[in-house]
Amino acid sequence: MKKPRIVITEPDWLPDGVEDKLAQVFDVCKGPFLPQDLAPALNEAVGVLVGLDHVLKGDALPVTLKFIVSPTTGLNHIDLDQAGRQGIKVISLKGETDFLQNITATAELCWGLVLSLLRRIPAAHTSVMNGQWDRDHFKSRELQGATLGVIGFGRLGKKIAHYGHAFQMRVMICDNKPLGVEGAQFTSVDMQTLLKESDIISLQVDSRPDNYHMIGEAEFQAMKQGALFINTARGDLVDEAALLQSLQDRHLGGAALDVLEQEYDSDKAAGSLMAWARDHENLIITPHIGGVTYESQYKTTHFVVDKLLDWYTAHD
């Protein structure tokens, strides 16, 4: 009997053992695929395992598709409305709070960006590679005693807050829910207070329609002069034109971004921000590498594949 087909869009990051698990049930078809080649590859497939290198829009979802698997918490690379209309099951990490407590990759990257931006580490390295040894040029500030503002006190926001506490920072939290027992050691404030008083701001909220461009011109203007802004959440949370203007006006001291609003379209991805980053050391941009560690990808991919196999066995 012929096995149903599953497509793996980006096998380069696939951890050991995942393909073998899937091959027990499915005929595995692997990429990599160019964007224009993905839709034809999905013809007659019952499912697809996709990461963040492809966007699954309505025209890429064939009628045969029964499930989409993504080892991510954010799902803005999937057309959820169309998937719902077609009755396609979306299996991901969203809502898997207990499991995700042991996934630290994105929080660790965020803290690395905090230190890199504050201590100007990338610029210092480039300076040495260019034959210079000018330590006084890179005099900076310490985290101890500075104020960290964390917008969003979910899984990642909590980790960032605890990192700040470990560095002896004053930690302020803005969230629309009570902080609970775990947040007792931090200060709960409204958004305006956080923006006004924070030396470093970390954005840690979900991407959803009511959060679109939640950090825009008014928010950047409300930030303390010279503040640093870190976004490792999702690009569409930030008005990038307003961010760039704040950098150009020298109001914002610097920014570090692991996500961009148009990151799935390399021709559109924040051209002005890229241009600024090339010539100014106070903007660091990384290619959405928050979850890209061997440990994280192994745990998360096996987890969602096991979820898939349990679901498929029950519904086949």
Fold assignment, 5-95+294-315: Rossmann fold (3.40.50)
User: Residue 202 is encoded by which pair of tokens?
Assistant: 């970390």
Within 8 A by CB and 6+ apart from 153, the residues are 161, 173, 175, 177, 179, 183, 204
Fold assignment, 105-285: Rossmann fold (3.40.50)
Q: Is 125 in the active site? A: no
pLDDT band at 182 (very low <50, low <70, confident <90, very high): confident
DSSP structure class, residue 245: H
User: Residue 201 is encoded by which pair of tokens?
Assistant: 């701001």
pLDDT for position 52: 85
Give 260-263's long-range contacts (Cβ < 8 A, gap of 24+).
260/235, 260/285, 260/288, 261/235, 261/236, 262/235, 263/235, 263/287, 263/288
Q: What phi, psi does 101 have (nearest 5°)?
A: -60, -25
Provide the phi-psi class of 270: left if phi over 0, else alpha when psi is between -120 and 50, else beta: left
Beta bridge partners of 229: 201, 255
Fold match between 5-95+294-315 and 105-285?
A: yes
84 has pLDDT over 70: yes
Options 5, 120, 234, 261, the catalytic residue: 234
Nearest residue to 226 via CA among 169, 123, 146, 285: 146
Question: In the chain, count of helices (H) and strands (E)?
Answer: 12, 12
Q: Is 261 in the active site? A: no
Options 263, 281, 302, 315, the catalytic residue: 263
Q: Is 137 in the active site? A: no
Compute CA distances 26 → 13, 29, 48, 59, 67, whole Å: 19, 9, 11, 23, 13
Compute CA distances 104 → 98, 117, 175, 220, 295, whole Å: 13, 20, 21, 28, 9
Within 8 A by CB and 6+ apart from 236, the residues are 76, 207, 212, 213, 261
Beta bridge partners of 212: none
pLDDT band at 269 (very low <50, low <70, confident <90, very high): low
pLDDT, one tens digit per residue, over 160-174 is 999 999 999 999 999
Contact 45, 7 (CB under 8 A): yes
**Distance, CA of 201 to chain centre:** 16
In total, the chain counts a number of residues equal to 316
177-187: average pLDDT: 85
Beta bridge partners of 187: 172
Per the model's pLDDT, the better-predicted residue between 75 and 69 turns out to be 69
Distance CA 30, CA 252 (A): 44
Domain ranges within the chain, ordered by starting residue: 5-95+294-315, 105-285
pLDDT, one tens digit per residue, over 7-59 is 999 888 899 999 999 999 999 999 888 888 888 889 989 999 998 888 898 77
Give 115-120's long-range contacts (Cβ < 8 A, gap of 24+).
115/143, 116/256, 116/284, 117/228, 117/230, 117/254, 117/255, 117/256, 117/282, 117/284, 118/143, 118/200, 118/228, 120/281
pLDDT, one tens digit per residue, over 90-129 is 999 999 999 999 999 999 999 999 999 999 999 999 999 9
